[in-house]
Amino acid sequence: MAKRRQRSLIRPVRPGFEPPPQAEVRFVPCPACGGPMRQGATLCGRCWTLVPAATVQVLHARTDGWGGRWERFRQAVGAGKKPEEIRL
C-alpha cells in the first residue's frame, strides 16, 4: 500500500491573484471628544472606556427595550453629555 503523501497546508498563490479589497473604514469626529471615530459608531474607543460599566452592561443586555436604551444613549451623547455621566 502506497503511503499517502501529505498535502501541504500552504497553497501556492495563483499568479495574478489579488486579495479582495478590504472595506474602507471611514472615520468621523467623535461626538464627545472630537477625536477620530469609526463611521457608524456611537463613541470612539477612548470615550467608551469612560462610560460607566453599569451603563455599558445595560446597553449590552439583550432584553426588552434594548433599542430604546441605545436611542436614549445616543440622544445623551448627541446632547453633549459627557460619556462618564451617561446613566440609563
Residue 5 Cβ vs Zn ion, minimum distance, rounded to whole Å: 55
Distance CA(30)–CA(47), nearest Å, equals 8
Q: Which three cell numbers stand for residue 74?
A: 445616543
Q: Could you list the residues that contact Zn ion (CB under 5 A)?
A: 30, 32-33, 35, 44, 47
- For Zn ion, give the closer residue by CB, 38 or 87: 38
What are the E-state strand segments in the chain? 27-29, 36-38
Distance CA 73, CA 79 (A): 10
Q: Nearest distance from residue 52's CB to Zn ion, in Å?
A: 15
* 20 vs 34, beta carbon nearer Zn ion: 34
Q: Which is nearer to Zn ion, 33 or 56 (CB)?
A: 33
State the Cα–Cα distance between residues 77 and 24, nearest whole angstrom. Answer: 25
Kindly state the smallest distance separating residue 66's Cβ from Zn ion, in Å: 23
